[in-house]
Structure formats: structure tokens, C-alpha cells
Structure 1
């Protein structure tokens, strides 16, 4: 299975279904199953800022109990959408042939890096694992052998 390592708290926000898009500077053609790996790093300062603090707390998490160095969820990488910010409105679109725009706001906007020219990976069918599985992560997309 393909996997991606994501710094905490973002990996847990995906696992909890609170973050639907992973923003990246690069486009990915791959579509299909994807494991979410929580890296060893926790952005502790960010975990104390809103809306991160309250969303994590709603699920019983703080910077002190986030899983690290482990697979925390599986999902489907279903789309890779280009980010466009126009007149202060952040939208996603699939390309020239797709004229459907998805507007991003609220917590989702706070949970990603939505600058022009970046990409939003749409993550669907997210399943948080009942127990995280220790694994060594890597940069980029990598193969995880369950």
C-alpha cells in the first residue's frame, strides 16, 4: 500500500475526519489506497492554537498524546486539485476540463496551506485505525507493507 508521512497534528486531524485535503506543492497522478503515517515530529506550538486545540480536545487529544512514528489511518487518494485564490476566496479545481469549483473555508482552510499554485489532495473513505501501527516513515509517497 502507498503511504505518506505527515507531521502531527495534521496526521491525526486526517484520521479523525476533521481534515479532508492534504495540501502539497506537488501534483500526484496516483489515485487509490493511501496509508496516513504520523511522523515523529509534533508541532506542539500549533496544537495550542485555535482551531487546532479545540478540535483535538474534542477527540481527547493534546500535543502530549498524539501518536508518532506510526500508521494512524487509511484512506483513498481520490483527486488532486489545483488551488486558486481569487479575491480572497480559496477554491479548488481539477483542471481545464472540470469547471466545478470547491470553495474551502472554516477549519479546512486553517488546516492546510492553500496558496495559489499548490495542490490539495482529496482524501476520502478515511478509516482511523483502532490501534496505530509502528512504522518508519519516509519523504514523499512510499510503499508500506502491512
Structure 2
């Protein structure tokens, strides 16, 4: 059997090594090397019972039964997706997701383009909260902090813009902002790959 495996391509070997269950969207081991289900944005924590957490893949038609459970440390499959996140102090993440804030102001130019996750840092910009309320915006009394709250797409980084949200000196132009279920994780400077605290 070992000799036969040596003649197979790596993907076929992984398919034999990691038997896929209904819970996986693809064959574990066919995704990026060094990545796991727990680093994929599609992993869902389905609750904690009897001292352990149960995880599902959002890309599958999973049930609450164990037949569709996946392990957080299973190797990534071919449908693995790990977006980088940008940490922003509230109330700005909330404004991006609820007020149409289409510019994220930054002190330096960035070349990154494409979809990102929006991370709400632990600290809140209290002065910004006061300023937005003074401008007539209705804000919530509390904000979610310390985790991923949404996603958006960066289409450009500009040094001037007609948007009312632009203050500069640079601004990331954002589109397709969407609220996501809150997932706790530690933030970091610049763009970072989230390390999920519930995985």
C-alpha cells in the first residue's frame, strides 16, 4: 500500500489520508500548506457541549448532528479562504457598515486592494462618538469591540476625495461593506490574518 501511495499525486495521497466527511466543502489537505479549518473564514462555531466545541463549514448544508462536524485543526481544503483584516477603532467600523462611510482615513499610502475583514479594536474613539452625535448621527449606546464585525472591499487608496468622510492624508476607498456575525479575535497593526479565539 505504501508503494502504491508513492506513485500517486500529493492530492490523491491527501484524499486517502484524510477521508472527507459530509461536513467538509472539499478534501482536507488540498488547500494552502500550513492553513487549517480554524484559519478559514467559513468555519462556524456551532456551540460548546460536554467541554468541547463543535465546528461546521458554512459552505456545506450542515445539520446539528455530528455527521457534519469538522475539526478546527483539519488541514485546509481547496475552498479555504483567509481574508486579512484591518483593525479600526469604533465608532468608525459601525459607520462603515451602517452610515455609508466609504473612506477609511490613514496616515500612509497602502497598495492592498480587494476584500478585507473589518476588525473593531478594543479601544473606542470617544471624541469621534461625540462629534458624530453632534452632527446628527444616531449611534448605538454600546459598540462591539475586540473582533471581526464586517467586511468590505478596498478599491483604491487616495490622497484626495470628494467623500464627506475623507480627512486624509490618505484614504482607503471602500465598497460593498457588509455586517458579519461578530467573531472575537485579537487585532494587530496594519493588515493581519485573524487568529480566531473561538476556534
Q: Name the TM-score, length of structure 2 as normaliser.
A: 0.52
Cα offsets for 1:8-47 (capped at 9, x unmatched): 1111111224311001111111111100100001122431
Q: In the TM superposition, what is the alpha-carbon distance from 1:51 to its structure 2 partner?
A: 4.3
Other structure's SS at 1:133 match: strand
Larger radius of gyration: 2
Q: Contact conserved, 2:118 with 2:150, CA < 8 A, in 1?
A: yes
Aligned residues: 114
Specify whether residues 46 and 25 from structure 1 end up closer, same or farther in structure 2 by C-alpha distance, changes over 3 A only: closer
Structure 1: runs of 5 or more not aligned: 84-91, 93-102
Q: Give the aligned partner of residue 186 of structure 2.
A: 136
Q: Does 1:29 align with 2:111?
A: yes
Specify whether residues 50 and 3 from structure 1 end up closer, same or farther in structure 2 by C-alpha distance, changes over 3 A only: closer
Specify whether residues 29 and 9 from structure 1 end up closer, same or farther in structure 2 by C-alpha distance, changes over 3 A only: same
Q: Contact conserved, 2:102 with 2:163, CA < 8 A, in 1?
A: no
Structure number having the greater strand percentage: 1
- Mapped to 2, the partners of 1:27 and 1:14 lie a distance apart of 19
Q: Does 1:8 align with 2:90?
A: yes
Match of residue 82, structure 1, among 159, 162, 168: 159
RMSD: 2.0
- Mapped to 2, the partners of 1:9 and 1:49 lie a distance apart of 10
- Mapped to 2, the partners of 1:35 and 1:119 lie a distance apart of 19
Structure 2: runs of 5 or more not aligned: 1-82
